[in-house]
Amino acid sequence: MRLKWWTDRTNQQVGAILLAGLLFRSFIAFWLPPGFDEAYYYIYTLNPALSYFDHPPLVALVTAIGIWLTGDVSQFTIRVGSLLLFPLTLYFLYRATVHLFSVRVGLLTLAIASVIPIFQLGFGTFTLPDSPLMLFWALALWIGAIEFFPRGFSPDRAYVPSYRIALLGLVVGLACLGKYHGFLLGFGLLGFCITSRRYWAVFRSPWTLLSFLLFLIAFSPVLYWNSQHEWISFVFQSNRSVPNRTYSLSDVFNVALMASLYLFPTFGLLLWFVSIQEIISAVRSRFSNSIHSFVLWNSAPVFLIFTLIGGYQQILPGWTMPGFFAVTPLLGLYVSRWRSKTLKRWLIGSTIAIVTLLLIVLSHITLGTLQKPGQFALFGGVVAPQDDASIQLIDVQQLRREFSRSPKLLAALKNADFMFSNRFHLAGHIAMALTPINSTPITCFDRRDLRGFAFWSTATQWVGKNALYITTDVFQTQEDSAAEFVPYFEKFTKLGEVELRRGGVVIDRIHVFQGTKLLKPFPRPY
């Protein structure tokens, strides 16, 4: 049976696309230094909990998978979970699309979703809450496709809800354990049933009650944790969507344009075009095309809501992307009607361009190929390190090696009661680099934004203890950040610096200070 599966040409194509994508993303994951959020999520793994201040718990589990498997802490190991989950996500999307449309559309959708750069990186390479979110989102699409459009589907045949309705509640709950975007998945499923008279039977079915109960069970860790912490996660997330300035239509346009760039223009602009065309058609027909309505309800609310929020509040690029990922089957259907030659040129040309650009960016971040000066610089380089934002991605393994080579710093680390930095994401990089050397606790002293550190320790916990303060060159040379902490310690002195190099050139310096006996708690914003 297994041999028969592999000898099928379609299955071979699916396997080839998934394997090629996995290998390419693994290459990126191995070489690219950890991002701000990724390093911060590593600290989640040091503080196991039912939920966290800014995210549900699954990102901690996904981040920990590679560390558990290898016993090592690196940019690659914290990404192993995402690398392994994304092929499953793509496969569920493929199966849903095949069920709704055809094998040809399914293969095109799989290829498109595998190539789009922000899907590759945000869902399938970096360790982010989006990785488990999209796994269950794609699974919900597949289950929903089978439930609402069974084989031999006919709109004239009465719909009878099945056990899959209960499964959808469970899967939506698991999606919410990945990221709070999962609520929009549930909203989309409800919206589809409400606007399609054929599916009103859902609201009279006992399976729906069980679905809601399974959702609550799945989501209960977040509810319990928040009930013990004044519902802080929901307060924090809701405050992020509260208007803090007047509405700007130009900002809405900019958000839509930036989404197109992150998706890559040859895909992003088409996704917008197809989505808007389908939304207009669905509204005009009062959602009579139930298959298209199903896809739209499980995608459009996400990118429309967050794009509109962008008119009064800054949003992150990834916030709209679950919607674009879920609407990809409609793009696959649209391009399946193109002439074969045009389709191949578009898909292959876009793939080559994306892979080339990603490799150029990767080579610069890791080797400094565009850095001026640098031993690997091409054509003499174009950007000086001090003007290059990419140096903020700290090479944690290089920092670990250099720190270990200093007997003075190494002894201070082992004798310290705790470490701290002045930004929550920077503390993540420090933890990734130094916790494997010595399990010294780490925290963050920041009057503005503590994130999870406010719950991983108390304000008075470190009073009377000795500390290491570690920060980067930009904070120390431009702001003299260490001066803020001097009054809080009996003695506060600089121990030394660690140089970080790229292309044979020093691009950053890590400054290390020793604080003797914390005299009073450092103020906290919450």
pLDDT tens profile 332-347: 999 999 999 999 999 9
Q: Is the model's pLDDT at 148 over the cut of 70?
A: yes
Q: What is the mean pLDDT of residues 408-435?
A: 96
| 37: nearest Cα among 429, 449, 363 | 429
Question: Please, which residues have CB within 8 angstroms of residue 385's CB and are 6 or more apart in sequence?
Answer: 371, 391, 502, 505, 506, 507, 508
DSSP, collapsed to helix, strand or coil, labels residue 512 as: strand
Collect all residues with Cβ–Cβ distance below 8 Å to 495 and sequence separation of at least 6.
408, 409, 412, 468, 512, 513, 514
User: Which of the four pLDDT bands, split at 50, 70 and 90, describes residue 3?
Assistant: low
Q: Is the pLDDT of residue 1 over 80?
A: no
Given a cut of 60, whether residue 2 has pLDDT beyond it is: no
Burial class (CB in 10 A: 0-12, 13-18, 19+), 271: buried
In the chain, the percentage of residues whose pLDDT exceeds 90 is 89
* pLDDT mean across residues, the chain: 95
CA distance linking residue 147 with residue 165, whole number of Å:
7
**Angle value at C-alpha 99, between 97 and 101, nearest 5 degrees:** 65
DSSP state of 69: H
pLDDT, tens only, 401-411: 999 999 999 99
pTM value is 0.95
> φ and ψ at 502, to 5 degrees?
-145, 125
pLDDT at site 241 = 66
Q: How far is Cα of residue 122 from the mean position of the Cα atoms in its chain? A: 5
- Angle (nearest 5°) at CA 394 between 525 and 476: 55
